[in-house]
Structure 1
Amino acid sequence: MFYGTAVWDPWLIVAQIVCLQCSYYLTLGVFVMVFLGVRVPRLSLVYFFDYATLSLSTVTGWCVIASFFLSSLAGAVYMVFLVERARKCLDFSATLYIIHLFLCIMYGGWPSSITWWVVNGTGLGVMALLAEYLCIRREQQDIPLDRYRPSV
């Protein structure tokens, strides 16, 4: 299919959102395990969804913040392969973080920490901009024509 033709495929969009969300949380889990595996006695979902864990006053809080930031970088790379279009990157990034906000509200209530909002807003911006940049670079690659020429 050519890039110019837009086909409305809601199942594809839902599948892309689910794959991106799962990849993001899987990566976040790996980074939390790497950074906090030695520091805390027991890992739990509190480091994913509780706004109080994102704290600037403790080393554990800084490790969680670093995990979120690195997960947003990885999410941008995932988006290059899942979404493949630069103009859709902001939509998918915002959807990921809106779903994350709803999960945080269901887990621990409305995030009242300014640190939580800054970390997630920065993560959204980094993910969207880096994914757009990487997708634009991929879209502008030359199309190899050598494989279509008959061998002489």
Structure 2
Amino acid sequence: MPRRRRPPRPGALADLSPTRILSQIALLQLAYYGCAGILIIFTALVAGKEINADLLFSWRTLRGDTTVGWTLGLVWVLNSLTCAIFILLLVARSKLVFDFALTVHFIHLIVTSLYCHAIPANLFWWALQLCSATIMTSLGVWACQWRELRPIDFGSKPTARNQPAADEGAGESRGRGRGRGRDGAGEYEMVGMNGGENNV
């Protein structure tokens, strides 16, 4: 007799499947670079600077001794604020926010190192990544916990205690007209105590 396979446990196993995690990482990374690219292009156009890929992928442009470096640093901080929203939409679990935030920045480290053919040696770049990861994790955890702790509405109707007095009066008058109780469970008939005993 073949053994019956146990059905998959709902919840945790489905949420932690490798395919789902990889797709979430890919979408979050695309959102990370997409928002950063939009912010960098907008800032470069306003400042009258030349737009190139170095502004997005090179760690050499993030310097603490130039105006462009500080401007790009501010753009990346704003980008971390925006990505907290994508973490809420894509991850939606506070326990996984830290892992996803570190994964995004680790992938960014690999992409930056491959683009520049060198590991980042700028202290300003490392400090900015630490600040960005901290902001993304803090806001992401707060947003996901706020979403997790929201009360669940099952679509139940308000009870008689929560209804206004006018509604209660109207309900009672309708109940007496139809011969039904306030709970609507069935029809009731008032029988006197003596009458009830004689019938028995």
Same fold (TM over 0.5): yes
Percent identity, please.
26
Match of 1:72 among 80, 98, 115: 80
1:39 aligned to 2:47? Answer: yes
Matched, 1:14 2:31: no
Correspondent of 2:132 among 123, 128, 135:
123
From the CA coordinates, give the structure whose radius of gyration is larger. Answer: 2
Q: Is the 8 A contact 1:36 1:63 kept in 2?
A: no
| Unpaired stretches in structure 2, ≥5 consecutive residues | 1-8, 158-183, 185-200
Give the counterpart letter for 1:133 in structure 2: W
Match of 1:99 in 2: 107
Question: What TM-score do you get using the length of structure 1 for normalisation?
Answer: 0.90
Equivalent residue pairs, number: 149
Q: Is the 8 A contact 1:39 1:60 kept in 2?
A: no
Alignment root-mean-square deviation, CA? 2.0
Instruction: Provide the TM-score with structure 2 as the length reference.
Output: 0.69
Alpha-carbon offset, residue 2 of structure 1: 6.1
Q: Which runs of 5+ in 1 are unaligned?
A: none
Residues 83-142 of structure 1: per-residue CA shift (max 9 Å, x gap): 010000000000000000000110111100000000011101110111001100110001
Alpha-carbon distance in 2 for matches of 1:62, 1:37:
16
**1:11-40 Cα deviation digits (max 9, x unpaired):** 110110010000010100111012122334
Letter in 2 for 1:56: G
4+ runs deviating over 6 angstroms: none
Q: Is the 8 A contact 1:16 1:82 kept in 2?
A: yes
Higher relative helix content: 1
SS at match of 1:95: helix
Distance in 1 (CA, whole Å) between partners of 2:48 and 2:121 is 24
Match status 1:137 vs 2:139: no
